[in-house]
Amino acid sequence: MSFIWFIFIGLISGLIAGKLMRGGGFGWLVNLIVGVAGGVLGGWMFSALGIHTSSIIGSLITSVVGAIVLLWIVGLINRSVNKR
């Protein structure tokens, strides 16, 4: 059951991060991938800072923050590639 929650939280966080960073989502599949990868990145960042969450809301916030950072990094890389 936890895998289903992980996917669900990843999807929701990908949608939220897509709306916050670009004003729109990228589609269900890409939002899911960004959300899940953001969850992993956010979990790593939060644990490096000594912040641990145990609730669904905490997991969602962690995942959204990670997805936003991931989208920001991708945007930086995309801009540098387009300048060439």
- How many domains does the chain fold into? 1
Buried-state track 28-66, b at ≥16 Cβ within 10 A, e below 16: eeebbbbbbbbbbbbbeebeeeeeebeeeeebbbbbbbb
- Does 84 map to a domain? no
Average pLDDT over residues 14-21: 85
Q: Indicate the pTM of the whole model.
A: 0.83
Residue 34 lies in a domain: yes
Mean pLDDT for 22-29 is: 65
Domain that holds residue 42: 2-79
Which has the minimum average pLDDT: 18-22, 49-53, 80-84? 80-84
Report yes or no: 68 and 17 within 8 Å, Cβ to Cβ.
yes
